[in-house]
Homo-oligomer: A and B are copies of this chain.
Amino acid sequence: MLKPEILDPQGQAVQRALPRLGFEGVSDVRQGKRFELEVEGPVDDAALARIREMAETFLANTVIEDFTVRTES
């Protein structure tokens, strides 16, 4: 997701459109990317470290984006 201090025009466009569509009560909208990775083998600490490295160096632009790694089975 874009870092909080980075302007998010897409998120703002969504937020402005919601009341026109009849949806009130949403004070902020942020839009970002989500990747789902299927990993071979156990998702142990070593695998998680590799995935964090993938996110840091390739999947996210860490100059303007924060990322979170979550595991789902």
Contacts and interface: CB of A to CB of B under 8 A. Distances in A.
Interface in A26-42: 26-41
Interface string A16-27: 011001010111
A69 interface: no
Copies in the complex: 2
A38 B34 contact: no
A23 B50 contact: yes
A35 B31 contact: yes
A54 interface: yes
B34 A32 contact: yes
A73 interface: no
A5 B19 CA distance: 33
